[in-house]
Structure 1
Amino acid sequence: MGRSERERRQAAQARLQAAGITPPRRSGARRGLAIAGIVLAAALAVGAYLAWQNYSAPVEPAYAVARDGVVVTAGNPAAPVTVDVYEDYLCPACKQFERIYGDEITAALNDGKVKVNYHHIAILDDRSNPPGYSTRAGNAALCAADAGIFPAFHARLYTDQPGEGAGRTVEELTAWGTELGATGDFAGCVARQENTRGIADATAAAAADPAAAPGGRFGTPTVLVNRTKIDVNDSAWLSKAAG
């Protein structure tokens, strides 16, 4: 008759002990790890579900875009509220502003509640490598407006914003526009950098504008609502303006 499972285990343990090997004691450790693994997996599943529940897809732009010099106007020109945004594409605080308020602004533009004038400013040209990125990016954004891709290109400039001390080349900016479906002579416009002088003039004008630079202090981002500067740290600024 064959030996029972218990007898086989006891015989194996005896052979190990005879060889001077102490067999490991069975404990609840492995069982505990298994239970912990199940609990962790359940927690991750719950976390993933909650993240999915809280996820909201980016708001897709569905508004008109027009350009006047180095200002791009987004939205219905007859909208009751005018928002002026002064931004430098190398400015970390501008990226933060776009990250926090970008979807809310897009929704207000789509609904016709506001129009937004995007002023292309270059105050950080000397903080990039190669130098001049603020102007180069601003020029490319204006070219993007002409090429029918301003909302997507504007977002890309912040999504892939280089850190201060870095920068993007004309070739890189051109490649972005091509990926986003730019039409017309986008590449030539970016290469010629024909808006350089206009951006420099707009930067000087903004710094001298009492509305944008009260007390002579100007920086980016600066946001005006119906020509009154607002505190961008007030998370309700747009809802207050647009109703």
Structure 2
Amino acid sequence: MSENQDRKRTARERLQQEREQHKAREKRRRVLIVSAAVVAVLGLAAVVGVIAANSGTKKDSGSQAGPLLAPAGVQGKDRLAIPVGADDAPSTLTIWEDFRCPVCAQFENLFRDTIHELVAAGQIKVEYHLATIIDGNMGGSGSLRAANAAACAQDVGDFAPYHDVLFQNQPPEPDDAFGNNDRLIELAGKVEGLDTPGFRSCVEDGKHDSWVAKSNTAFQNGGFRGTPTVLLNGESVFPAKGSEQISPANLKKWVTEANKGKKPGTQQSAPAPSPSS
């Protein structure tokens, strides 16, 4: 009787093991399918970006009138980079984006948690650069209006969360919903403490429009293929770095390799008012 029970138990254990192995194989298969789909979508950005970048001059926002007022705390060449993370982080991730760009939203939604994790650990500083190529390609002003609103959020130290909110609530590419300042102010309500009279005034007055236009001109003159353009320590990682396709896991690996033997960053400066350019 005991021997029979042992055989039954062994059979149940073997069946359970086979089920777990099947589940593991199915999980790996789903991951591979999703990863392949993501790579395919992101790979299209090279082609889509070329079209958008080339046709973005149709309604070039580089001719915006008004004084060039940079947001608080911007850095880099011509003070066009919005920094997020420790200033002394051992690696820098440079990202050129357009808030109306659907592939930018796909990139952000896939890599957001990874980038936040690397920033919080002091492994990278992110330098965001804003472009308005979709306005030129599709018409409208949503790229410019959203970029100005994001610059207004930077003035009070809320660029990062507002940046995420914009991409999480991005309208379809042909829909110029971001061209409506009221919509941008409404979304600011999702960031605690951001919707203030000062922020509203900054958005409605287009305070940083000319700075955004200058950033877009730098993008157009930079020889980039399209948005998003992603550089790790100056080396392009999009859509591939060497023989490896970009993925959250690979981004972590590349940062770890670049930071080997280096201390995490700890010095993070709050945005300070920038002089007019």
Is the CA contact (8 Å cut-off) linking 2:152 and 2:199 kept in structure 1?
Answer: yes
Q: Give the 3-state SS of the residue equivalent to 1:161 in structure 2.
A: coil
Matches of 2:141 and 2:124, distance apart in 1: 32
Amino acid corresponding to residue 111 of structure 1 in structure 2: A
Matched length: 173
Residue type at the aligned position of 1:172: R
**1:87–1:221: 8 Å Cα contact kept in structure 2?**
yes
Q: Is the 8 A contact 2:101 2:227 kept in 1?
A: yes
Which of 196, 201, 205 pairs up with 1:188?
A: 201
Alignment of 1:69-218 (within 5 A): 69-126=79-136, 131-166=140-175, 167-168=177-178, 169-180=180-191, 181-182=193-194, 185-210=198-223, 213=224, 218=225
Structure number, greater radius of gyration: 1
Shift of 1:229: 1.2
Match of 1:30 in 2: none
Point out where structure 2 has 5 or more consecutive residues left out of the alignment: 1-71, 240-244, 257-277
Alignment of 1:10-89 (within 5 A): 66-68=73-75, 69-89=79-99
Which residue does the alignment assign to 1:240? Answer: 253
Aligned residue number for residue 227 of structure 1: 234
Q: CA RMSD in A?
A: 2.2
- Tell me the alpha carbon deviations over residues 180-209 of structure 1, each in whole angstroms, 9 at most, x when there is no partner: 221571111111112222222222212322
Note closer, same or farther for the CA distance 1:184–1:87 as it changes in structure 2 (3 Å cut): same
Tell me how far 1:165 sits from its aligned partner.
1.6
Q: For 2:100, what is the secondary structure of its paired residue?
A: coil
Contact 2:100 2:134 in 1 (8 A): yes
2:86 counterpart SS class? coil
Asked if 2 retains the 8 angstrom alpha-carbon contact of 1:85 and 1:117, the reply is yes
Unaligned runs of 5+ in 1: 1-64
Determine which structure has the larger helix proportion and give its number.
2
The CA distance in 1 between the partners of 2:129 and 2:92, in whole Å, is 13
Tell me: CA distance 1:173–1:70, structure 2 relative to 1, closer, same or farther (3 Å). Answer: farther
Give the TM-score taking structure 2 as reference length: 0.58
TM-score (norm: length of structure 1): 0.65
1:130-158 C-alpha deviation (Å, 9 max, x unpaired): x1100110111111111232222111111
